[in-house]
Structure 1
Amino acid sequence: MAIRVEAPSSFSSPTKTKYEYDVFLSFRGVDTRHTFTGLLYDALRRKGINAFIDDRKLGKGEEISPALLEAIERSRISIVVFSRNYATSKWCLDELDHIIWCKKEKKQVVMPVFYKVDPLDVQYQRNSFEKAMAALQDRFKDDLDKVRRWRSDLCEAASLSSAWLFDDGCKLGFIERIVEDARAMLPPNPLHSVDHPVGLKSRIEEVKSLLDQSHDGVCMLGIHGTGGIGKTTLAKALYNSIFCQFEGASFLFDVREASNEYRGIVRLQQLLLSEILEEKSKKFGSVDEGITKIKHRLSHKRVLLVLDDVDALEQLEQLAGGCNWFGSGSKIIITTRDKQLLSVHGVQETYEMKELNEHESLELFSWHAFHSSHPSKGFEDISARVISYAQGLPLALRVIGSNLTHKSLEEWRSILEQYDRIPDKTIHEVLKISYDCLQDNAKSIFLDVACFFKKWRSVYANEVLHTCHGGARFYFEVLIDKSLLSVDKYDCLWMHDLIQEMGREIVRREAPLNPGERSRLWHHEDVVRVLRENSGSSKIEGIMLKSPQQEKVAWSGFAFEKMSNLRILIVRNALFSTGPKHFPNNLRLLDWERYPSMTLPEDFYPENIVVLRLCRSYVRLVEPIKRLEYVTSMDFSYCEFITEVPIMSQVPNLKELIFVGCCNLIKVHDSVGYLSKLAVLTVNGCSKLKSFPREIKLASLEHLDLAFCESLDYFPNIVGKMDALNTILADNTAIEELPHSIGNLSGLQILSLNSCEGLREIPDTIFTLENLVWLLLENSRPHSRKSLKKSMQDSYPIIRSTNLKILNLENCGLLDEDLHLTVNCFRNLQELNLSGNDILSLPDCIKECAYLEKLNLDNCKRLRDIPELPPNLADIQADNCISLTRKSLSHLWSQVIHSLSHLALSF
């Protein structure tokens, strides 16, 4: 028997209203401000929902303000909290009247909440509402139409199917359900758009008209034009204006660049599926498999897909091969510089992106140069000269404007002389003027990002570049202010490809015919040539070898001897015939995947190195790590020849130490347990690891991963407070007991001990951890069940106030008495997994778990009786429960129907 009840998702289609708030709260202050509505407001804000609440105390006879009416109109949802004295307030009724008007005219969602009042009292104005309306009728006997309208509003609001009724019980649980309901009705977050969308509105309408010509079938539309003209900006704005109208949507940025990465198309296919289906996509092995999955999963789904910056036919064939890949009504939008590409792929509808006209150019330039829609006084004529250099390209207008902002008229004239000297006014030369105005350190950092660090986490790039130039974060801000660099929502560095091309062209021109004389090498053919021919020089500061296909490099190993100033070395997807005989000590970043030697060169002592990554390499660590003052990250994942982590006490600033999948690692030196700045320690998948620090005193540690260390049979003792540690993963280990000192981990949120079959001791101090949210004990043996039971009994008074939300006890051999104690202890659970246990019945007290939303009973083959279930259960799984009585089945189905009707009512 398989039963699942899940809450549906819903959101309203966008209207022309410019929304300022997600939720407007209407309530009677004297009734609920401090007892209910205030708590609801706080809960909405905690979930990131922008709610409006009017906190003013109103005087008698005060009229509702126009600002409040506007707040109602600019809210997507209105939550009306009906309480005993709601109708005694003319203010509340005027709010309600405007809310009902917005529902009819603006399609606003209205959610009535009946707080300790009968909905029929509101609908038919009985009891307290009858008295209140009678008093208002006497008070407004000269305006009875207003009273009749109020009565109609009350009746309409009370009859809405989206109503919530609270009589008594768990107030916080009730509030959380309302919040989740509101969040489900809100549209997904739009993509970040430009601050000043000059000229976009008319272009959006033109493209929409082309899309609307195909109502029933699948419409493929191409937006083409030169680089920097705003194709991506238009596509994002268009996406934001229509994505809510589809069953799923995906915007794939930088298809050209992403597809050049190793397995890039496969990753794009996975991302496409995960975004449209709103689920984590399973990995697949080939492009062909990805094509099959896209066609199978999306052929009956109405989707919106944007493929940004496509430059090859194969990319279209592998991501959106034909209209039959997608359901009827789908829209596929492609941006490209190559119009012919669209024709070859059979794209019928095309839109050519034109440059901004003179008026639009001046406005966009002014926003960046003057932070206004027009030039400042005295700058009108010179601004008109400036915009001619940008040729109507939005990117150039932003960069030029940002470069000139806050400068005097004399400085403007000086910079304009540089533009005048550009012979052919190419976009690269126009953009280069902004680069020429930078300080030397800012120039160097700009070139490093353009050549190596685009899409890197800014924190990593900052740490590396800070040791090279100092003040890297300051120069990042300078580049951002100049519109040469940005940081995306994932805290990754990003720059427009034209700006990146401009930076790389600056480097190429250092020595057009001899890459060994350039400061930076990034093109794999240039890198391989320099290494094979040993033609490098001291001018080289950085090398990145990233081949689209695995490259075999035959070289002598001496190529780095001439590169005394090499700071950055990144090697990916390449196999070298021999290891390097020398490394320059000036290195700050050494990131070499499949490093071909067992040791680093003997004379290599990089005192200033920040990042050392030698994943999937032949390297062995047989001696203590040398004194490395500045290193913050070491990663030796999948190095099969490493058997021991040596003494690490000479790396005082280490923040990240990773040994994932080192299958022959046996010992981690005790010194690792005392690295005061270590934040991440990972030995996941080191199946032979037996010796780990017996005690750890790691004040900065945030993440400890021991999972799949199958030979490790103990957990380290915690010395002192370790407040920063929030995650411990110790699945599939041989750990037999946890130390009592685990109670020192006051910040711990996730503790995963799945498949620890030898676990026999679970200390009661676990349940003193106030921040613990996840506790996962799947597949532990019966003797650990007894320990768990004893720990819960010993700390029962503390457990009752725990914040634990997710508890996995799958295949833990639980009996009825264990389950009764568990449910009694953890009343605040949201998810409970009891799959595969030997229970005969669920305890009656489970109905009191007011927060419980998910319950898994799969493979509980002895389970016979199911009592009344919690009221907010939205996901019930009971597959292969073969012993359920007919009465229990009937009861379970009634619970399912109740849950479904509750969910339908709540929407």
Structure 2
Amino acid sequence: MAVTSPSQATSYDVFLNFRGSDTRQGFTGYLYKALFDSGIHIFIDDEGIQSGQIIPESLKEAIKKSRIAITVLSPDYASSSFCLDELVTILECSKNSGLLVLPVFYKVPPGHVRHQRGSYGEAFAIHEQGLHPNMEKWKKALKDVANISGFPLDYGNEYEHELIKKIVERVIRFLNNDEKSLHVPDFLVGVGSQVEEIRNLLAVRDNGVNVNMIGIHGMGGVGKSTLACLVYNLITAGFEGSCFLQNVREEANKHGLKHLHSIILSQLVGMKEINVASEQQGISIIKNRLKRMKVLLILDDVEKHEQLQGIVGSADWFGPGSIVIITTRDKQLLASHGVKRTHEVKELNKRDALKLLKFKAFKMEEVDPSYKEVLNQVVTYASGIPLALEVIGSNLFGKSVQEWESAIRQYKRIPNNKILEILKVSFDSLGEEEKSVFLDIACCFKGYKLSEIEETLRALYDNCMKYHIGVLVEKSLIKISHDERVTFHDLIEDMGKRIDRQQSPREPGKRRRLWLQEDIIQVLKDKSGTSQIKIICLHFSISDVQVVEWDGITDMKSLKILIVRNGIFSQIWNYLPEGLKVLEWRA
């Protein structure tokens, strides 16, 4: 059997810790081959390396460089002081570097390991005679490893090859998950110390609590989601499964909690085709499937207590060592759910805000001194909000000092606390058709696939969509995610919807687009729609499905796009305008 040398600089997928005389020629040898045949890079600590009484530094480095440690706890494992010292080192690394520990209870019950009974009790009786100084460390290590969800061999009901298959599947699932890091902006400032503070919070454990739950809160646009992404990427390697659940508030309102349950189960346990029939069923499946798994779950942008209750109701839903991180604008929401450790994301200080603005506006830190005053004025008016700085910087990219001064004169007319109005400056700089495209997306198409938006809006803008989308991306008004969906921050969405409502605020039937549920129902009921209306986008929440009377749509002769979700139609087909080009119907 090949043994990987610990002197190699490469990292390892798996570190195998075992008592050679017990399992080298049997179970561990077969496990090694199954892992190796699956393309997994393994360090196997064979007893040929165990020449001394103290673990060499090279072996400690091999443990640190591994992503998973598999410990085969066989009947004679505890008789080896070297194996026990190695286990202590493995568990220390699991706390400090995110190493995942997978214990295998081979021919020994977990209770014997936890309480040093049976062969483990006999081994410790001998160790006690030798007055070994590490006795207490060993006992604690065995107790800790026995409390980790592992792989007991159920004799009489399970063959060894079946257990090996389960272990290999778990390892592969973890390694695949480990490689799915989240995208974060290329240029970040003011986050290093905050990431460290959050990791310090995660290092604190409450007595008797196996799951660490923390909260990240702060105002919109301040960088909560970005911070959560950074923490996720840094610690995800230490878990059997990881899930970053984006836009909880929006997704729950649109699709219900059962939709979020499906995403969690898909990402954490690979249940790809699951169809959760109800919230109650989703909760039951999560509790049953995840209660023994060490998982990392991040809930981004939570708004309501029932969202927390329906996704992370209590700590015992997840296995020991799991971490749940919640981002929200509402600190009280965290307190009401019993989240004791929280981190507030605050606005950037002047130095960091200036760095971010320079990067967005000039792509460099050193700029012409003539810009110094205008840069400082923008930093003051952006109030340290990263989103505002990004949008303003992108909008003024490549502009002259005079153009900066002109923009600042607009900012000076705006109260300092109205960040939405500052962001509106980027909107005002758009062409008329680009403004219209942005408002269409902000009001009706957030989260849609880019290809779907381009195809749908072609009904209004012919073949100019790619150009318009490009302009909006350059202005930092929209972003294209890794899965080709169009997204933007809540502040940008709020700004767009506010601008749209200001167009004929008292008579919604005279607007270009209708997207607010009460406006649409009122216009249809009153039959006050006009030929100004081009788009109707009606989203009922799962819990608020209604029958809609559609005869009021007849006078909307310029209507081109009709999108209805979760509505129950009432003879709609009798009233559709002849010019309608796009109909999306999801009952």
TM-score for both structures, normalised by structure 1: 0.45
Partner of 1:370: 362
How far 1:406 moved relative to its partner? Answer: 1.3
Cα offset, 1:237, TM superposition = 0.4
C-alpha distance in 2 between matches for 1:438 and 1:105: 56
Tell me, yes or no, if structure 1 residue 448 matches structure 2 residue 435.
no
Spell out the pairing of 1:55-70 with structure 2 (5 A cutoff): none
Q: Is 2:184 the counterpart of 1:190?
A: no
Pairing 1:433–2:421 present: no
1:224 equivalenced with 2:217 (yes/no): yes
Is the 2:242–2:267 Cα contact (8 Å) retained in structure 1? Answer: yes
What number of residue pairs does the alignment pair up? Answer: 436
Who is 2:396 aligned against?
A: 404
Match of 1:555 among 518, 525, 549: 549
How far the C-alpha of 1:77 sits from its partner, in A, is 7.9
Give yes or no for contact 2:534–2:559 (8 Å, CA) kept in 1.
yes
| CA drift at 1:368 | 0.7
Give, in angstroms, the shift of residue 465 of structure 1. 2.1
User: For 1:105 and 1:414, how far apart are their aligned partners in 2?
Assistant: 60
Q: Which residue of 2 aligns with 1:204?
A: 195
Tell me the amino acid that sits aligned with residue 191 of structure 2: L
- 2:559 aligns to what SS in structure 1? coil
- Aligned to 1:576, the other structure's residue is in SS state strand
AA of the residue aligned to 1:486: K
The one of 299, 321, 324 equivalent to 1:307 is: 299
Deviation, structure 1 residue 537: 1.8
Specify every segment of 5 or more residues in structure 2 that has no aligned partner in the other structure, as ranges. Answer: 1-8, 14-38, 44-56, 68-170
Q: Please state how far the C-alpha of 1:523 moved relative to its aligned partner.
A: 1.7
1:339 to 328, 331, 345: 331
* SS at structure 2 position matched to 1:378: helix
Structure 1 pair 396/185, CA: closer, same or farther in 2 (3 Å)?
closer
Contact 1:398 1:483 in 2 (8 A): yes
* Structural mapping, 1:504-583, within 5 Å: 504-548=497-541, 549=543, 551-553=545-547, 555=549, 557=551, 559-583=552-576
User: Quick one: structure 1 residues 105 and 327, their matched pair in 2 at CA, closer, same or farther if it must change by over 3 Å?
Assistant: closer
Residues 391, 426 of structure 2: 8 Å contact kept: yes
Q: Which runs of 5+ in 1 are unaligned?
A: 1-16, 23-48, 50-75, 80-99, 111-179, 595-907
Shift of 1:109: 6.5
Q: Letter of the aligned partner of 1:438 in structure 2?
A: L
Query: Does the CA contact (< 8 Å) of 1:370 and 1:376 recur in 2?
Result: no
Report SS of the residue matched to 2:339. coil
Question: How do 1:293-332 and structure 2 match up within 5 A?
Answer: 293-332=285-324
| Distance in 2 between residues matched to 1:106 and 1:362, nearest whole Å | 42
Alignment deviations for residues 653-678 of structure 1 (CA, whole Å, 9 cap, x no partner): xxxxxxxxxxxxxxxxxxxxxxxxxx
Matched letter for residue 182 of structure 2: L
Give distance in 1, aligned partners of 2:536 and 2:176. 50
Contact 1:273 1:281 in 2 (8 A): no
- Over 3 Å counting, the alpha-carbon distance change for 1:585 and 1:324 in structure 2 is same
| 1:450-469 alignment, distance < 5 Å | 450-469=442-461
Give the C-alpha shift of residue 108 in structure 1. 4.6
Post-superposition Cα deviations, 1:383-437, rounded to whole Å, max 9, x if no partner, equal 1111112111111111111101011122112222221222454121111110000
Q: Give the distance between the partners of 1:102 and 1:456, measured in 2 at CA.
A: 50
Measured after TM superposition, the shift of residue 374 of structure 1 is: 4.4
Per the alignment, residue 84 of structure 1 pairs with none
Question: Who wins on radius of gyration, i.e. which is larger?
Answer: 1
Which amino acid in structure 2 is aligned with residue 336 of structure 1?
T
Q: 1:393 and 1:185, CA in 2 relative to 1: closer, same or farther beyond 3 A? A: closer
Q: Secondary structure at the match of 2:546?
A: strand
Q: 1:356 offset after TM fit, Å?
A: 0.6
Partner of 1:592 in structure 2?
585
Alignment partner for residue 380 of structure 2, among 388, 391, 398?
388
Q: Deviations over 1:482-514 (max 9, x none)?
A: 111111122111111211111011001112233
Measure the CA separation in 2 of the matches of 1:250 and 1:109: 22
Q: Which residue of 1 aligns with 2:250?
A: 257
Give 1 or 2: higher helix fraction.
Answer: 2
Change (3 A) 1:517 1:331: same
Structure 1 position 481, deviation (Å): 1.0
Amino acid at match of 2:305: L
Contact preservation (8 Å) 1:265, 1:315: yes
- Residue 416 of structure 1 aligns with which residue? 408
User: CA 1:261–1:554 in 2, change beyond 3 Å: closer, same or farther?
Assistant: closer
Whether the aligned pair in 2 keeps the contact of 1:546 and 1:571 (CA below 8 Å) is yes
Task: Give the counterpart letter for 2:545 in structure 1.
Answer: E
Shift of 1:185: 8.7
Partner of 2:165: none
CA distance in 2, matches of 1:553, 1:108: 60
Task: For residue 539 of structure 2, give the secondary structure of its aligned residue in structure 1.
Answer: strand
| Greater mean deviation of Cα atoms: 305-314 or 417-426 | 417-426
What amino acid is the match of 2:497? R
Structure 1 residues 186, 569: CA separation in 2 closer, same or farther (over 3 Å shift)? closer
Greater relative contact order (CA < 8 Å, ≥ 6 in sequence): 2
Distance 1:376 1:560, change over 3 A: farther
CA deviations over 1:92-132 (Å, ceiling 9, x no partner): xxxxxxxx98994895579xxxxxxxxxxxxxxxxxxxxxx
Counterpart Cα distance in 1 of 2:176 and 2:535: 50
How far does residue 304 in structure 1 lie from its aligned partner after superposition?
Answer: 1.0
- The residue type paired with residue 518 of structure 1 is R
Superposed displacement of residue 225, structure 1:
0.8
Question: How many angstroms apart in 2 are the aligned matches of 1:364 and 1:208?
Answer: 24
**1:275 maps to which residue?**
267
Whole-angstrom CA distance in 1 between matches of 2:203 and 2:175? 28
Aligned residue identity for 1:252: L
Tell me, in whole angstroms, the C-alpha distance in 2 between the residues paired with 1:526 and 1:186.
44
Q: What's the secondary structure of 1:528's corresponding residue?
A: helix
Give runs of aligned pairs for residues 728-747 of structure 1, distance below 5 A: none
Distance 2:360 2:63 in 1: 35
Q: Which residue of 1 aligns with 2:20?
A: none
Q: Any residues of structure 2 matched to 1:121-200 within 5 Å, and which?
A: 187-200=178-191
Whole-angstrom CA distance in 2 between matches of 1:509 and 1:325 = 46
SS of the equivalent of 2:457 reads helix
1:825-870 deviation line (CA, Å, top 9, x unaligned): xxxxxxxxxxxxxxxxxxxxxxxxxxxxxxxxxxxxxxxxxxxxxx
Query: In the superposition, relative to structure 1, how do residues 247 and 404 fare at CA in structure 2: closer, same or farther (>3 Å)?
Result: same
Query: What letter corresponds to residue 236 of structure 1 in structure 2?
Result: C
Task: Assess if the C-alpha contact under 8 Å between 1:363 and 1:374 holds in 2.
Answer: no
The CA distance in 1 between the partners of 2:186 and 2:388, in whole Å, is: 16
490-499 vs 312-321, which moves further: 490-499
Alpha-carbon distance change, 281 to 219 in structure 1, aligned in 2, over 3 angstroms: farther
The 1:184/1:340 distance shift into structure 2, 3 A limit, reads: closer
Question: Percent same amino acid at aligned positions?
Answer: 41
Contact (CA 8 Å) 2:381, 2:416: kept in 1 or not?
Answer: no
Cα separation, 1, equivalents of 2:304 and 2:177: 37
Letter in 2 for 1:213: V
Does the aligned pair in 2 maintain the 1:552–1:577 contact within 8 Å?
A: no
TM-fit CA distance, 1:341? 0.8
